[in-house]
Amino acid sequence: MTSGCVFNIQRFSTDDGAGIRTCVFLKGCPLRCAWCHNAEGLSFSPEIACYERNCIGCGACVLACEQNALSIENGRVAIDRTKCISCGKCAQVCPTETLLKIGKNMTVDEVMHTVRRDRIFYGDNGGMTITGGEPLAQAKFALSLAKAAKKEGISVAVETSGHGKTEDLLALAPFCDLFLFDCKASSNDHKKLTGVSDKVIVKNLNALGETGASVILRCPMIEGANINDGFVQKIIKLSMATAAIKKIQLMPYHATGLDKSAILGKTQQRRYVTPSEESLLRLVKEIELKSGKHCFF
């Protein structure tokens, strides 16, 4: 049975595709977006999150850790992440859920067990959304999940940065009702802001378009980072050239990623600015007028 690393299964989501969705978050992403709001999705293997403020300093975790990675400092737990092997033994004994293991290996059947429980809420257009992280980075697992859901008549959406092998993306297409495909920055800024060039991504979007897939182009809008004329013109150009793009969704920046980075001991990102409603409305108007496609945020 195919398995993969999952860091969350979020039930009753209304933000990632039509209707009520069960979102399956696959762990691991090859991109490093400057504004990433899902730091748990970056690494491909399990990690230990530490919600330090919950700690009561009981010391149970220190005794459980065979790597000597934990200590109590000023009444609260401290992790030496250079020693931690993410075994999760500390999380098992922590009474306050200060320490949590993020990510676990799951089979398709195990994921589907949760998805099936939500089926009653899906109605006509809800279903499962495979997201991450980057689903194409666990392509075999993502495909097996999509096939399993489709076999049971459950609608499937895939949220992707588009960065992956073209054949993996095309293999998913027959089993997906909707792709939430990211467009993150102008071609000039793409490598600087996400860590990768957009060449493969644009190629993959074009290839997906030829399959007759249904796509919502999702564009993060981060004031002080990616919003510029080059980005807006790219959104318009791609939308005009790709019949598969049915709608364009602007995704205003929110700062929740900062806290998530901190609990995983990752370097704090810069705090960006959420664009004003007025400037988003201006962008919506320009994109709709020039692309002829419905744009919203």
Interacting residues toward ligand SF4 by CB under 6 A = 48, 55-61, 64-65, 67, 69-70, 77, 79, 84-90, 93-96, 98-99
CB of 47 to ligand SF4, least distance (A): 9
Question: Phi/psi of residue 254, each to 5°?
Answer: -135, 155
What is the per-residue DSSP string for 181-204? Answer: EE--S-HHHHHHHHSS-SHHHHHH
**Distance, CA of 62 to CA of 145 (rounded, Å):** 38
What is the per-residue DSSP string for 264-279? Answer: TTPPPPPP-BPPPHHH
Residue 76 or 247 with smaller CB distance to ligand SF4: 76
Residue 71 or 279 with smaller CB distance to ligand SF4: 71
Residue 100 or 251 with smaller CB distance to ligand SF4: 100
User: How many of the other CB atoms lie within 10 Å of CB of 175?
Assistant: 18
**Distance, CA of 90 to CA of 68 (rounded, Å):** 11
CB of 52 to ligand SF4, least distance (A): 8
Where b means 16+ CB within 10 Å and e means fewer, 253-279 reads: beeebbebbbbbebeebeebeebeeee
CA-CA-CA-CA torsion sign (252, 13, 51, 67): negative
Question: Phi/psi of residue 269, each to 5°?
Answer: -80, 165
CB of 69 to ligand SF4, least distance (A): 4
CB of 99 to ligand SF4, least distance (A): 5
CB of 77 to ligand SF4, least distance (A): 4
Residue 26 or 77 with smaller CB distance to ligand SF4: 77
Residue 70 or 154 with smaller CB distance to ligand SF4: 70
